Amino acid sequence: MSLLRPPFAPMDAQLVGEIPGGGGWQYEPKWDGFRCLVFRGRTTVELQSKSGQPLGRYFPEIVALFKELAAPKFVLDGEIVVPASDGRSLSFDDLLQRIHPAESRINKLAASTPAAFIAFDLLQSDDGRSLISLPFSERREALERFMKKYAKKHARLLLSPATADISVARSWFATTGAVLDGIVAKRLDSPYVSGERSGMVKIKRLRTADCVVGGFRYGTNSKQVGSLLLGLYDDAGLLHHVGFTSSFTGEFRKTLKEKVEALIKPPGFTGSAPGGPSRWSTERSTEWQPLAPKLVVEVRYDHFSGGRFRHGTKFLRWRPDKAPRQCTLTQVAQESAVSLDELVHS
């Protein structure tokens, strides 16, 4: 069979609400990093993102790691992560810093905050055989043999833990936050289906937080409200911009416009504010209206890191019963009962 080469779409997972049971599943942590396929040839190493883009220039230490591996050729599926300075958690913020245009900056970060690779599937063995048609149970066995043979001397090449015990998976799910992004469940009898959401599901913990509306943006080429800008107070009483919510119906937007325009008043945010230097900035980042800190909303989110909600949040309801000053960053503090080291070496 011909060798696998990039671009090669990774197998994807379908989002579901509960960890599936009933047997025939293997459970793994869903790591808080960048999905990555590693293609090792006799003289080359290529890293590919989930979207098919090359990642090698952003993670030279991972390229070097796989060049040092004694295995002559293989294809691994896994996750690039950056361990946090506390040694217990992962830093998605440090990971995002790597997507930088300057090679000198990338090299500096590679030395100061080196990334690690957590392997969870083997698509091509070290003798060049494609394994994608095999059931996952056999690929996992091959991966464990591969890691035992080649990864012992490489502290930043890790094997993702796995279990068939749903009670263990549930205990991992309880640690979602500082280390994990959720749980992945894989059918033991499933082949590796490139580019498909087949044979694999993911479960994320959805949380809620009460936030102050510190400002808003109009929609593109519109005078309707496009998004509400969310804030949380720190211990010093400063209101920091932490994200946005825009999941409104058309009818709701009409009432929203009158509600927020009546409260337009600077500064809106007294701590970090929209429009400052940020990797999330866009050309519209400075086009926002500040509000007096009067409105409180409850939103649902899946992850908070680097001082922000990772993605847009879902608006749930107004909270007129909640004082704005009660909306603090302590709501989104991420604590974990288990460390990265404890998970991968359990």
Query: What pLDDT score does 9 carry?
Result: 92
Of 275 and 276, more confident: 275
**CATH 2.40.50.140 residue ranges for the chain:** 207-332
Long-range CB contacts (within 8 A, 24+) of 321-328:
322/210, 322/296, 323/296, 324/212, 324/233, 324/293, 324/294, 324/295, 324/296, 325/233, 325/237, 326/210, 327/209, 327/210, 327/211, 327/212, 327/231, 327/232, 327/233, 327/296, 328/232, 328/233, 328/234, 328/235
Q: What is the pLDDT of residues 71-114, one digit of tens each?
A: 989 999 999 999 887 767 788 878 888 988 899 999 999 999 99
Of 63-77, 85-99, 187-201, least confident by mean pLDDT is 85-99
**CATH 3.30.470.30 residue ranges for the chain:** 12-205
Tell me the average pLDDT across 221-250. Answer: 91
Q: At what angle do helices 60-68 and 103-112 cross, to 10 degrees?
A: 60
Phi-psi region of 268 (alpha: psi -120 to 50; beta: other; left: phi over 0): left
Give SS3 for 294.
coil
Of all residues in the chain, the percent with pLDDT exceeding 70 is 91
Q: What is the pLDDT of residues 15-26, one digit of tens each?
A: 888 999 988 999
Query: What pLDDT score does 152 carry?
Result: 87
Architecture of domain 207-332: Beta Barrel (2.40)
In the chain the first and final C-alpha atoms are separated, in Å, by 36
Query: What pLDDT score does 268 carry?
Result: 94
Name 176's bridge partners: 180
Residue 335 scores a pLDDT above 80: no
Residue 14 scores a pLDDT above 70: yes
CB-facing half-sphere around the CA of 209: CA atoms within 13 A: 28
Find the length of the chain: 346
Structure tokens at 31: 């790591």
pLDDT band at 281 (very low <50, low <70, confident <90, very high): very low
Cα 23 from Cα 288, distance rounded (Å): 51
Residue 278 scores a pLDDT above 50: no
Q: Which amino acid is at 57?
A: R
Give SS3 for 290.
strand
Of 30, 148, 257, 314, which residue is the catalytic one? 30
Peptide bond into 72 cis (omega under 30): no
Residue 201 scores a pLDDT above 90: yes
Residue 276 scores a pLDDT above 50: no
Mean pLDDT of the chain: 88
Query: What pLDDT score does 211 carry?
Result: 95
Query: What pLDDT score does 306 carry?
Result: 77
Cα 303 from Cα 206, distance rounded (Å): 8
Is 202 in the active site? no
- The DSSP result for 109-162, as a single string, is HHHHS--EEEEEEEEE-TTS-B-TTS-HHHHHHHHHHHHHHHSTT-TTEEEPP-
Residue 220 scores a pLDDT above 70: yes
Residue 1 scores a pLDDT above 50: no
For the 12-205 domain, the top CATH level (class) is alpha beta
Cα 139 from Cα 198, distance rounded (Å): 16
Query: What pLDDT score does 283 carry?
Result: 44
Cα 234 from Cα 307, distance rounded (Å): 11
Of all residues in the chain, the percent with pLDDT exceeding 90 is 59
Tell me the average pLDDT across 305-328. Answer: 87
DSSP character at residue 328: B
